[in-house]
Amino acid sequence: MRIVVCIKHVPDVQSERRIEDGRLVRGEEDVLNELDENAVEAAVCLAEEADGEVIALTMGPEDAEDGVRRALQMGADSGVVVADDDLAGADVVTTARVLAAAIERIGEVDLVVTGMASLDSMTSMLPGALAAKAHMPLLGLARTLSVEDGVATIERSVDGFTETLRAALPAVVSVTDQINEPRYPAFAAMKAARKKPLDQWGIDDLVEVPGGETLVMRRALTSVTFSEENVRDGSGTIIQDAGEGGRALADYILSVVK
């Protein structure tokens, strides 16, 4: 089984993020997107069961290589970084087209696994857009995933119900953080990751892919026009509970409601 896991290198959620010229500043305190760690773990577990291969794929600036290196440490066999100045500011549709073209160039692929969202833009649209551009069925928001006899099966929770969905391979599957507990790579795995192959491609490498559509870049349809940090007003009220804390809280709630 040959699996591509799509990942993203994003600013650390604990860092101070900045927007300049309508774009999130990258390359300062970036890490592998936390929700993509679940996707890497799911892909590696499937590959271990089926004696398969996992290829970590990302699109981003050159330092996005660090995110792929992390995926290699977690068990991916090889990596691909698509980096090009023309991709700066790309939106979801452009990103999906580039990733689909990269998957086409990689060759025969049985499964594409993604996280359910990236913690920078939080659109959650990439899995669906990628499935459309790659002409594959989508199994979204999986909390369990199994593959047998050329069919992927997932379970997911939707509005209080548990659904079981199946799709013939090749397919795109997005996973939630409920699916597993990502492994923490040991020192030996980190050392071994340095020797694993990692390719870097640009747009010119994807313009004409065998059997694929011509990749035409376009201006992003969305951009950030304004951003402002949310700051809490005041420091709040602290009440020392001497037996009347519950009543004080109830009085406060009633005053707000009124």
Q: How many CB atoms lie within 10 A of CB 62?
A: 12
pLDDT for 31 equals 87
Q: Tell me the whole-structure pTM to 2 decimals.
A: 0.83
68: Cα within 13 Å, side-chain hemisphere = 28
Q: Which of the following CATH numbers is that of domain 2-205: 2.40.50.140, 3.40.50.620, 3.30.465.10, 3.40.50.11740?
A: 3.40.50.620
Per the CB < 8 A criterion, the answer to whether 75 and 195 are in contact is: no
Helix, strand, coil content of the chain in percent (nearest 5) = 30, 25, 45
The one-digit pLDDT tens for each residue of the chain (258 residues) are 999 999 999 887 666 666 666 566 665 668 899 999 999 999 999 999 999 999 999 998 888 999 999 999 999 999 999 999 888 888 898 899 999 999 999 999 999 999 999 888 788 999 999 999 999 999 999 999 999 999 999 999 988 899 999 999 999 999 999 999 999 999 999 999 999 999 999 988 887 655 445 555 556 677 777 777 677 666 677 777 888 888 888 888 888 776
Q: What is the 3-state secondary structure (H, E, C) of 160-207?
A: CEEEEEEEECCEEEEECCCCCCCCCCCHHHHHHHCCCCEEEECHHHCC
- The helix (run of H) or strand (run of E) holding residue 39 is helix 34-50
User: Which of 119, 132, 158 is closest to 37 using CA atoms?
Assistant: 119
